[in-house]
């Protein structure tokens, strides 16, 4: 989902600064709410976990250039279900920044676009989760259809934002639309794999919950093991 250098340049990049700032402000709002409800320590610890995993997803996991961008296995729905919205938002922001600063400096000019793409998709997924995930069961008891919806929303949001940035930068040319289409088709194949990883992660969390010292909600969202 990284935007390639030169797709959006010049004064058009100003929009990415504005959208990234708006996303950062909302992430800050979520973080403050998290601190009030669960404390600063849980936010810090879970954010470190999320940032570390995001860095691994981007830099270590295989990623394939397709069309106008790259296909990554980001596992945003897994992070959301295990850690909660605020730590996931911080983790996505920091993990992406670490990758750009220390390993992929050519991505830094596109950081505003990339962070907008990730956070906006996360926030939409969070809103959808409140509507479609049953409030009377913990996340560890979710079924395939539930996590599939989360994956479709998150990955679909990423594809939509990449399409927006590409068309915004290049216009509605045939080559541009073909590149966007190729990327979108390839990226949505992640939806076939991500729900299975989500279910495996939830099953692991459920199994570990009964072990001494692993039932704490400091490292995972309370919603993981408790109904709303």
Is the predicted pLDDT of residue 138 greater than 90, yes or no?
yes
Q: Domain for residue 225, yes or no? A: no
Q: Find the radius of gyration of the CA atoms of the chain.
A: 17
Secondary structure of residue 113 in the 3-state scheme: helix
Residue whose entry in the numeric block shows the structure tokens 């996505």: 92
Please state the φ and ψ torsions of residue 71, each to the nearest 5 degrees.
Answer: -95, 120
Please indicate whether residue 212 or residue 199 has the higher confidence score (pLDDT): 199
- Asked if residue 222 is part of any domain, the answer here is no
Tell me the percentage of the chain whose pLDDT exceeds 90.
70
Q: Among 4-8, 25-29, 86-90, 157-161, which stretch is predicted with the lowest mean pLDDT? A: 4-8
Per-residue pLDDT tens digits for 25-52: 999 999 999 999 999 999 999 999 999 9
Binning pLDDT at 50, 70 and 90, where does residue 17 land? very high
Structural domain of residue 82, as residue ranges?
Answer: 10-208
Judged against a pLDDT cut of 80, whether residue 212 lies above it is answered with no
**Is 149:81 a contact under the CB 8 Å cutoff?**
no
The pLDDT value given to residue 5: 83
State the Cα angle at 190 between 34 and 55, rounded to 5°: 50
Give the rounded percent of residues in the chain with a pLDDT score beyond 70.
96
For the chain, what is the domain count?
Answer: 1
Residue 181 lies in a domain: yes
Q: What share of the chain is helix, strand, coil (3-state, %, to 5)?
A: 75, 5, 20
Strand partners, 64: 71
184 within a domain of the structure (yes/no): yes
Q: How confident is the model at residue 210 (pLDDT cuts 50, 70, 90)?
A: low
**Does 213 reside within a domain?**
no
Q: What is the CATH number of the domain that holds 124?
A: 1.10.1760.20
Instruction: Please indicate, yes or no, if residue 217 is contained in any of the structural domains.
Output: no
SS3 state of residue 91: helix
Judged against a pLDDT cut of 80, whether residue 213 lies above it is answered with: no
Residue 121 domain-assigned (yes or no): yes
Report the predicted TM-score, pTM, of the whole model to 2 decimal places: 0.94
Residue 219 belongs to some domain of the structure: no
pLDDT in tens, 66-116: 888 888 889 999 999 999 999 999 999 999 999 999 998 988 999 999 999
């Amino acid at each position: 989902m990284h935007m390639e250098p030169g797709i959006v340049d010049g004064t058009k990049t100003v929009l990415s600064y504005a959208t990234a700032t708006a996303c950062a402000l909302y992430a800050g709002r979520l973080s403050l709410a998290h601190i009030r409800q669960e404390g600063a320590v849980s936010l810090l610890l879970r954010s470190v976990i999320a940032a570390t995993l995001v860095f691994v997803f981007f830099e270590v996991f295989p990623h394939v250039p397709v069309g106008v961008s790259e296909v990554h296995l980001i596992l945003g729905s897994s992070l959301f279900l295990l850690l909660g919205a605020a730590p996931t938002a911080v983790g996505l922001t920091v993990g992406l920044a670490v990758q750009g600063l220390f390993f992929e400096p050519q991505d830094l000019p596109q950081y505003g676009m990339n962070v907008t793409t990730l956070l906006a998709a996360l926030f939409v997924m969070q809103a959808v989760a409140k509507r479609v995930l049953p409030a009377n069961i913990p996340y560890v008891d979710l079924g395939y259809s539930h996590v599939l919806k989360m994956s479709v929303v998150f990955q679909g949001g990423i594809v939509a934002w990449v399409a927006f940035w590409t068309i915004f930068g290049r216009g509605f040319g045939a080559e541009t639309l073909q590149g966007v289409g190729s990327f979108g088709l390839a990226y949505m194949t992640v939806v076939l794999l991500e729900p299975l990883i989500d279910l495996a992660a939830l099953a692991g969390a459920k199994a570990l919950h009964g072990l001494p010292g692993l039932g704490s909600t400091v490292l995972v969202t309370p919603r993981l093991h408790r109904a709303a």
